[in-house]
Amino acid sequence: MTAREKRLIVVHRFICALLDIQRERGFWATGSKTRDSIKWFYGDVMISERALREWFKRPEIIRYQHPASSMGGRKGSRAFVADHPFPTKELQNLVLSRYRRTNPTLKQIEELLRTHNRICYVWFEEDERLRAAGYNSRNPDSADPDDVFARYKEVEIHALGTRFPDGKYLFKCLSELRHDHVSVARAKEKLNAS
């Protein structure tokens, strides 16, 4: 059994326990980082088209934790912000509404988290647009609960899928591609290649 499969089993049991408590006691446990274990399992990371272009345009940026303040961004923020296109709070609400009466199967949780619990690296200015629009941690009121990218559509962020399980591997690949003078268009192809 892989580490990823083990994490999925733990996350599934954790979500079922939270749902059982909700049904039995009438509350959903929050605070003290209770939802963090849900973040252990997510689909492959993404990167916005803008973030990808900025990476290739700015060779002075050698790591994705580069401070945004050096480019006019907020002090303490990063140039590449790890954002959940579908906010964690919205995911919690979706789980509560979908599985109010019966606990989900392992397969249902795997599918839900693979599609709705992803990380997308956005350029700091895109993150600022999300904040300014009031979508830092919520979807637009009119959003369909299955529209993972509702916030992004509202502020025109275009997410690109990748084959990487986390940012470390994504940016390692991007560093190699930039070093090899690969075009942004070719980099997009390489990010999805197995």
Distance (Å, rounded) from C-alpha 66 to C-alpha 69? 9
* Extents of the domains making up the chain: 42-84+119-192
For the segment 42-100, what is each residue's pLDDT rounded down to a tens digit? 778 999 999 999 999 999 998 888 989 988 888 988 999 999 999 988 998 899 999 99
- Residues 18, 27: Cα–Cα separation, whole Å: 9
What is the pTM (predicted TM-score) of this model? 0.90
Q: Are 45 and 166 in contact (CB under 8 A)?
A: yes
Largest separation between any pair of C-alpha atoms in the chain: 58
Tens digit of pLDDT for each residue in 162-193?
999 889 999 999 999 999 999 999 999 999 86
CA gap 129, 9 in Å, rounded: 36
Q: What torsion, rounded to 10 degrees, do the Cα atoms 174, 131, 139, 8 define?
A: 40
Q: Is the pLDDT of residue 33 over 70?
A: no
- Give the pLDDT confidence score for residue 141 in this predicted structure: 93
Mean pLDDT of the chain: 90
The number of beta carbons lying within 10 Å of the beta carbon of residue 94 is 16
Report in angstroms the alpha-carbon separations of 111 from 5, 133, 160, 185.
Answer: 13, 29, 19, 30
Cα angle for residues 155, 148, 101 (degrees, 5° grid): 140
Amino acid at 184: V
**Residue 154: burial class (beta carbons within 10 Å; 0-12, 13-18, 19+):** middle
High-pLDDT (> 70) share of the chain, % = 93
